[in-house]
Amino acid sequence: MLWTVVVLGVTGFVAATVVPLWFQARDQRLLIVTSGSMEPRFSAGDVVVLRAVGDASELRPGLVVTFQPIGSSELVTHRIVEVVRLPVMREVPGTDGRQAPVLDAAGEPETRAYIRTQGDANSAPDPDATPVERVRGVLLSVHEGWGRALAWATSAAGRAMLLGPPLLALATLEVLSVLDDRRRREDRRRRQAPQDGKLDALLLE
């Protein structure tokens, strides 16, 4: 029973560590879904597997991508609804944040590719377009429920639950082994004691 606890706990901890590394070795990435904006494609608590974007030209309407919106540190996973070219903007010095197009050598506005996105469960597109350079991956697959398990297993409480019982079980097994060795030594001494007494008696006679 104690060895079962050890095996189950260690197996769970190793799985939680190895699974992300296995995907990473294949140049893929795991992300835990935290909202329902893409239901029914995937839901909060699921895990999405992403592949890297080889070339921005492969981005097209219909693809589900993970991107980092301008001015945000968070990642968003939504569907591309449009790919457009928009002027590159910069703040005009001496103004209160007013933006103006960046012009090229010919005096024409410089443009770059942007994606417009929308969550499948949302009624309207996302408010801002995102430069294609900020796309972090393209959806490959979805694993239902993995997110909750991975989030728990990699949390402090999860690690304690996975490793605590096996460590306690190993300590218990070690104590039992020491007690068993001591009992065996005492049994041997008890068996040998009468024999030594008889030998002394024979020598005295």
In terms of DSSP bridges, do strands 64-67 and 76-87 run parallel, antiparallel, or are they unpaired?
antiparallel
Q: What CA–CA distance (Å, rounded) separates 66 from 139?
A: 7
pTM: 0.61
Superfamily for the 2-160 domain: Umud Fragment, subunit A (2.10.109.10)
Q: What CA–CA distance (Å, rounded) separates 51 from 197?
A: 80
pLDDT tens track of the chain, all 205 residues? 544 544 444 455 555 556 666 566 777 788 889 899 999 999 999 999 999 998 888 999 999 999 999 888 899 999 999 999 988 888 888 777 788 888 888 888 888 999 999 999 999 999 999 999 999 999 999 989 877 777 656 656 656 565 556 566 666 656 666 667 777 777 777 776 655 555 555 455 5
Q: What is the pLDDT of residue 107?
A: 84
Q: What is the pLDDT of residue 115?
A: 96
Q: What CA–CA distance (Å, rounded) separates 108 from 100?
A: 12
Q: What is the pLDDT of residue 110?
A: 87
Q: What CA–CA distance (Å, rounded) separates 145 from 166?
A: 25
Q: What CA–CA distance (Å, rounded) separates 146 from 156?
A: 18
Q: Which two tokens stand for residue 61?
A: 């309407």
Q: What is the pLDDT of residue 60?
A: 95
Closest-CA residue to 22 (of 157, 135, 146, 159):
146
- Residue 57's Cβ-side half-sphere holds a number of Cα atoms within 13 Å equal to 0
Q: Where on the phi/psi map is residue 33: left (φ > 0), alpha (ψ -120 to 50), or beta?
A: beta
Contacts of 68 (CB under 8 A, 6+ apart): 74, 75, 76, 130, 134, 136
